[in-house]
Amino acid sequence: MREWTAEEGALPTDVCLFQRHAAEGDRSVRISFQWISRSESRKRDLRDATDYVVNGVPAQVNEIRSEVTFPCFMPGDNRMKSRQLHLVGRAAFTAEGPGESREAMDVRHVTLAYLMAQKAVKALGCENEPLQGEPVVQPGKR
């Protein structure tokens, strides 16, 4: 968040990468987070995405990426700046599960992005506690 500026924004920060090498092909998932302006979050869409809502939090998913976007009010010196931003929790995938429907895959990917974002919320100490409870994924609206 400290790197974020209105002119340039902030780059995503990768926090976890899992890779599996298998006979049927390599698979991976990458978890990352990015601070964006609140106004940018309203006009930012993944290409060819399906919208979902997870416990009231907007989420989007396409074939390779899922995102949840939410406010995270930081304590201390970061309090004022964090109120101008949203945090995006992102999970990027290189392959889908075998024989899985698109909807089942979407729900699984959005759920993972939400659960990892919950971990970030706890680590960052978001005072507004934006991600509460077990994820309940529902269809969203554009």
pLDDT, tens digit (0-9, with 9 covering 90-100), for 111-123: 999 999 999 999 9
List of long-range contacts for 25-30, beta carbons under 8 Å, 24+ apart: 25/95, 26/94, 26/95, 27/93, 27/94, 27/95, 28/93, 28/94, 28/95, 29/91, 29/92, 29/93, 29/94, 29/112, 30/91, 30/92
pLDDT tens digits, one per residue of 56-83: 999 999 999 999 999 999 999 989 989 9
Would you place residue 9 in the very low, low, confident or very high pLDDT band (cuts 50, 70, 90)?
low
* Predicted confidence band of residue 99 (pLDDT cuts 50, 70, 90): confident
Asked whether residue 43 carries a pLDDT value surpassing 80, the answer given is: no
- pTM to 2 decimals? 0.88
pLDDT bucket at 4, cuts 50 / 70 / 90 = low
Q: What is the pLDDT of residue 55?
A: 96
